[in-house]
Amino acid sequence: MTDTAKLALSLLDLTSLSESDTKESIRTLCAKAVTPFAHVAAVCVYPQFLSLCRETLDNTGVNFAAVANFPAGNEGLKAAIQQTRKIIELGGNEVDVVVPYQEWIAGNKTSSPDLVKACKDVCGANVSLKVILESGAFANQAELYELSQASISSGADFIKTSTGKTDVSATLEAAQTMLEAIRDSGKACGFKASGGIRTHAQAVEYMELASKIMGEHWISPETFRFGASGLLNDLLSILGHKELAAEQGGY
């Protein structure tokens, strides 16, 4: 159990995306990013907090992520490009961008791939682009599979389930669909499960699913992430450091 808890901790994008976020709350978030067991993979915040994160966590190995076109995915191509560029200027080395998934569901099959390609062009080779599909909005798994494939083909470094801002966030069904799309694409693309994952037991379910589809050795921070904040609490408890676990806002 402790081995899987340590692994899950290293896969964690420690996240706070609340309208009530402040510099103080983000400092508190960053203080939890490096533990006695491992550091988290990244902190994920709104762009205006990136500089603070870098000041606090530079040279720790933690990556710096911020969101673009968030949360509804409807700000348009130009805005998504501008926001992506701004995140990089502010020191982000990972961008979590929401595609216009509602347009995809409505039948527009070009706007989402166009946005992914344009944002990846801005990111280049040194900044990871994590593409949020909002999987809970899809009643049809075939459509989610198709959007996953289209995002991968357009340059996504990761495909991510959810914003954490809708009624349905990550599910194992959606994770299976997206992981199968990655496998079937034959391309190098990671997977991120986000929203509603708060316990070690839940995390293990996702890791076991990914191992079954992609292979045990595929699970690493380079290819697999959890977007969460509350999950850290349970992982630290499993590892015997309950005093370090404190409730915090986010996914």
Does residue 250 lie in a domain region?
A: no
Does residue 251 lie in a domain region?
A: no
Q: Is the pLDDT of residue 246 over 50?
A: no
Catalytic residue among 32, 120, 130, 160: 160
Pick left, alpha or beta for residue 37 (phi over 0 → left; psi -120 to 50 → alpha; otherwise beta).
alpha
Q: Is the pLDDT of residue 217 over 90?
A: yes
Catalytic residue among 13, 32, 96, 157: 96
Q: How many domains does the chain have?
A: 1
Does residue 249 lie in a domain region?
A: no
Is residue 78 flagged as an active site residue?
no
Residue 71 is predicted with a pLDDT of 98
Per-residue buried b or exposed e for 206-231, using 16+ beta carbons within 10 Å of the residue's own CB? bbebbeebbeeebbebebbbbbbbbb
Is residue 109 flagged as an active site residue?
no
pLDDT (tens digit per residue) in 23-62: 999 999 999 999 999 999 999 999 999 999 999 999 999 9
pLDDT bin (cut points 50, 70, 90) of residue 247 is very low
Domain carrying residue 118: 2-244
pLDDT (tens digit per residue) in 71-129: 999 999 999 999 999 999 999 999 999 999 999 999 999 999 999 999 999 999 999 99
**CATH code of the domain containing 43:** 3.20.20.70
Residue 249 is predicted with a pLDDT of 42
Is residue 96 flagged as an active site residue?
yes
The better pLDDT of the pair 244, 62 is held by 62
Does residue 89 lie in a domain region?
A: yes
pLDDT (tens digit per residue) in 117-152: 999 999 999 999 999 999 999 999 999 999 999 999
Tokens 């509603």, located at residue: 196
Give the pTM: 0.95
In this prediction, residues 196-212 reach a mean pLDDT of: 97
